[in-house]
Chain A
Amino acid sequence: MIQIDRLHYRYRAASPPALDGVSLDIGRGSVYGLLGPNGAGKTTLISLLAGLRPLQEGGITLDGEPLALWRAAHPTAIALVPQDYAFYSMLTVAENLDFFAGVQGFPRRQRREHCAAALAFACLEAVAGRLAGELSGGLRRRLNLAIGLTGAPDLLLLDEPTVGVDPQSRRFLLDAVKRFAAAGGTVLYTSHYMEEVEAVCDKVAIIDDGKVLLAGTLAGMKYGGAAALRLELARPLPEALAADWRGRFPEMETAKTTVAFPEFAADALAPIFSELAAFGVAVEQMEYGAPNLEQVFMQLTRHSLRD
């Protein structure tokens, strides 16, 4: 549905690029996760997709049409759900929905239908008459999402939609996102919660410094990587054995009683355990396998703080 092609964007002419050649392919009816540390370029990309900023270089097409033309033909088809509670706390839930549906120019009857559908989708019927400012954090998140649905969009841009909610509300929101996609909608989902992304997204892109570092299916990302081995020994690795292993495994890293191999073949496991036993070194803990999404993310974006 969405083709993002070599997108470049700078906020000021002399500033480093916020986006530096980003290309993505997002299919209709999918939930696409966008991961990256703070300042990576996620918000800029979402702003460009939402039409809040003009394109500078590169292109975005939807169903083969340039973004601007597609938006002109489908003015309410892209909805942005910001991270903050982007509604009016002095208005009731129903009034908020009616207001945001109203500014999109729907006729009265259609507006009522959209509002009712959004209210039902987010299970907010029971609190429709309550002031938005009096709602709990979970209900506010649901209202924030429901407002995004008042235009009956095809594409939902969700910017960290579950920040600060309890596990039950988070589960509800994730299920709601899945239901939206199952009904044919497309979702671009940004979050810092890896388990959420693993639970809800079909494809993921990790971006940093305005560049796509990795993009693909979750399965490919998690299990496509080589298996790593990490051993916690009862005492430091004997020098003679360490010298032998460095020759055979050049990428091996040691620190006190820890020995780590970034890539390790399964058939080499038995021999190294035998060699350790021969030197009388007991293994206290062992981790072996492909890295999870968080490990992939941390490995790609490095560990340093960004803010």
Chain B
Amino acid sequence: MRDRHGLAALFIMPAVFILVMSLALAEPLTAQQTAAYAVLDLDSTPVSRALDDELRAVDAFEKHARAGDEADARRRVEAGEVLFVLVIPQGFARQIDDNRTPTLRVLFDPATPRALQEGFRHRIEAAAIKTWLTRALERLGEEIMLPELRGAVEGVGAPEIVSETTGGDGETFAPPSAVQQNVPAWLIFSMFFVVIPLSAVFIGERQRGTLERLFAQRTPFGLVLAGKFAPFVLINQAQTVVMAAIGRWVVPLCGGEAFTLPDGGQAIASLWLVSLAVSAAAVGWALFIASIAQSSEQATVLGGAGNIIMGTIGGIMVPRFVMPAAMQPWTRLSPMDWALEGFHQALLRQGGFIDVLPAASALVCFGFFALMAAVFLGRRARN
């Protein structure tokens, strides 16, 4: 407990990550995505202008500008003035009237994420279909002398779609904000970083003969381990409280959203259970690293690199839902993913003990097997 620098690192590192990442990811994770765009209308017919008007009504599209020609359109995209330019080809209206399929081109900034490109493309497609349908009804109305048909789709917008996540009891909840994602993620990451001070203590004891002295004094090995386990579990729990407080009160002061804890004692108890399970996994992992490392420098490298790999795979650095579908199953390999899943169960889905039990059990098992490996390696080294 007197290693003030080591302790400070265990609290300052996640605090900085939570602050920075919650603010940095606030837009991409929570805000409505809007895009500035331009239209290059090479057809200049009522039909092409109707398409232009349809796009203007889409909430996700923020700014409407007209490009003079294709060179101007490309310049606007490259300069970052707009995210994309819709090119309506010459003869667009005539192709619709001739029952041919017109080709609409969209010029995108190459840095635009593919998922975003697809989203915008689908919105343009919807607007184009509505324009085509309006024109088709208008022509049909002219043919059957029923001009009112044209108005059949006027004023009809696409149905509003609201994204929600569902809880186990059938209630619905808002999607997680950046701070709800980042507080547990960086808390888990920092809890696993007890590997560095703990392994330094353990290796120091081994190298200086303190462990030999303790064993010569017939100190039970369980007591030696408990002497490491208890203080670091306490530190982990203090990390949990401090990081939740930072998310709750400090992040809003910096302009981010406030971290919210679940309502009800059972969800809070579940959260605590997950936090204890993460401690068990982290301390077991630290003792395993301490038993395979020959020096504290080696433990720092092995433990630090191991944590970063677990964090990268486990959705700490990049949230799992942002990863491509093919990568998402791989996150299950990391104990940090199990921990994040446990926290999400309690935090986002208001889960009870039963809901967090799979994640908590997996973490405790991981800690137990890591501890057993450490004991085995320790005994082998002594003999």
How long is the Cα–Cα vector from A50 to B218 in the complex, in angstroms?
Answer: 9
A87–B219 Cα distance when bound, in Å, is 15
Q: Is A78 an interface residue (CB 8 A)?
A: yes
Q: Is the interface of B mostly helix, strand, loop or mixed?
A: helix
Top-4 shortest CB links A-B: A82-B209, A80-B216, A50-B216, A86-B209
Contact B214 A52 (CB under 8 A): no
Chain A proximity mask over B202-229: 1 for CB below 8 Å, otherwise 0: 0000011110111111110001000000
Which residues of A have CB within 8 Å of B216? Answer: 50-52, 78-80, 157
Complex Cα distance, B138 from A270, in Å, reads 144
The residues of B that contact A71 with a CB separation of less than 8 Å are: 218
In the assembled complex, the Cα of A104 lies from the Cα of B2 at a distance in Å of 23
**In the complex, A151 has a CB within 8 A of chain B:** yes
Interface size range on A against B:
20 to 34
Neighbouring A residues of B263 by C-beta, 8 Å: none
Tell me if A246 counts as interface (CB < 8 A to partner B): no
Interface centre among A71, A79, A103, A104 (most CB of B within 10 A): A103
**A100: CB under 8 A from chain B?**
yes
Query: Is the CB–CB distance between B218 and A147 below 8 Å?
Result: no
Q: Mark A85-107, 1 if CB is under 8 A from B, else 0.
A: 11110110000000010011000
When distances are taken between beta carbons in the complex, the residues of chain A under 8 Å from B2 are: 90-91
Report the bound CA distance from A85 to B218 in whole Å. Answer: 19
Contact of B219 among A53, A84, A104 (CB under 8 A): A104
Contacts A103-B223, A104-B219, A148-B213 supplied; 20 other A-B pairs, CB < 8 Å: A51-B215, A52-B382, A71-B218, A79-B216, A80-B217, A81-B213, A82-B209, A82-B213, A83-B209, A84-B207, A86-B210, A86-B212, A86-B213, A87-B208, A88-B210, A91-B2, A100-B214, A100-B217, A103-B214, A147-B213
| Cβ contacts under 8 Å, B218 to chain A | 51, 71, 75-76, 104
B103 within 8 A of A: no
Number of residues of chain B lying within 8 A (CB) of chain A: 17
Residues of B within 8 A of A84 (CB): 207-209
Tell me the nearest residue of chain A to B383, going by C-beta: A53
CA distance A47 to B3 in the complex (A): 31
Query: For residue B213, which residues in chain A have a CB less than 8 angstroms away from its CB?
Result: 80-82, 86, 100, 147-148
In angstroms, Cα B216 to Cα A86, docked, is 12
Q: How far is the CB of A101 from the nearest CB of chain B, in Å?
A: 9
In the complex, are the beta carbons of B217 and A104 less than 8 A apart? yes
A88 surroundings in chain B (CB, below 8 A): 210
Whether B217 pairs with A76 at a CB distance below 8 angstroms is yes
For residue A72, which residue of chain B has the nearest CB? B218
Chain B residue at smallest Cβ distance from A91: B2
**Given A83-B209, A84-B209, A86-B208, A103 contacting B219 (CB threshold 8 A):** yes
Return A8 CB to nearest CB of chain B, in Å.
15
What is the CB-to-nearest-CB distance from A150 to chain B, in angstroms, rounded to a whole number?
9
- Alpha-carbon distance between A54 and B383 when the two chains are bound, in angstroms: 9
Give 12 pairs: A residue, B residue, CB < 8 Å, sorted on A: A50-B216, A79-B216, A81-B213, A82-B212, A82-B213, A86-B208, A91-B2, A103-B223, A104-B217, A104-B219, A147-B213, A148-B213
Considering the chains assembled together, what is the distance between the CA atoms of A85 and B3 in angstroms?
18
Task: Report B113 CB to chain A, min CB distance, Å.
Answer: 50
B residues in contact with A53, CB < 8 Å: 382-383
Residue of B nearest to A157 (CB): B216
